[in-house]
Amino acid sequence: MEIIEQYCQGKKDELSNEDAIFYNDDYVVIIDGVTAKGKKKDRGRKSGRVARDILMNTLPTIDGTASKKEFFTILHNALAENIPEDANIEDIPSACLLVYSNYYKQIWICGDSQYMINGEYYDNSKEFDKIVSNARSLFIELLVARGITEAEEMEKDFARIATKGLLKYQPVLENNFESPHGYIVLNGRTLCDEQIQEVDVEENDEIIFASDGYPFLKETLEESEEELKRVLKEDPLCYKIYKSTKGLKKGNVSYDDRCYIRFII
């Protein structure tokens, strides 16, 4: 296994970055800590960062021959052990993961991160996020029509406030597959390992893993970064070229944390 290039960058700073990359001889993993919906913090860290740190500390302990169920059970238990008894559902640390197992020559998909295999793109975006992104895009369009400038929206974030109710209650859809809007996530509450997708890969395949901090994933890091720069310049609120549940906020370097790794097996 050869790592060609990698990059990880927080939208604000590294202390609050909820994305991470882990790799060793057995695994390549990207972690995308779920954006906190609550207000509680653990030693200054929001729940997405807490999840990221727990998982990064646990991954080196996992044997390379662990099955998919064993792998995710270990991570699930690590998160479960760190859920406070009085925690509200919106404060529970949770994360999305993309995992490559070198032993099984498989990709394991838990969440909405994106990937490419030999130049072919695969999207795992959530239906819920599409709904909220479209609603937010419409709201910004209405605000602009009413005279609110994009600069004012970037500072005040009226659209994020307008969709806050949906986002606050979003965690009830985690691992809830009775709902058409349910989606998989690793949260330490419910483990739905049977819903974690498996994709077989082969020797010499080139693979790219990336979090959803890249609006348009490309075959190199440089190209992916250039596309991000273009979006942030032409559509910083992320409601026209690329519709997102959040846009660039004043003082931040991007609309979301991001990580990217390209490797050959």
**pLDDT tens string 24-57:** 999 999 999 997 765 666 656 788 899 999 999 9
Percent of the chain that is helix, strand, coil (3-state, to 5) = 35, 25, 45
Does CATH number 3.60.40.10 belong to domain 2-264? yes
Cβ 193 vs Cβ 74: under 8 Å: no
Cβ 188 vs Cβ 196: under 8 Å: no
Q: What is the DSSP letter of 18?
A: -
Domain locations in the chain as residue ranges:
2-264
Cβ 208 vs Cβ 261: under 8 Å: yes
Sign of the four-CA dihedral 153, 156, 157, 158: negative
Task: Determine the Cα–Cα distance for residues 242 and 244; give it in Å rounded to an integer.
Answer: 6
pLDDT < 70: residue spans in the chain: 37-44
What type of residue sits at position 226?
E
**H helices present in 22-116, as ranges:** 47-58, 68-80
Tokens of 40: 């509680």
Burial (Cβ within 10 Å: 0-12, 13-18, ≥19) of residue 233: exposed
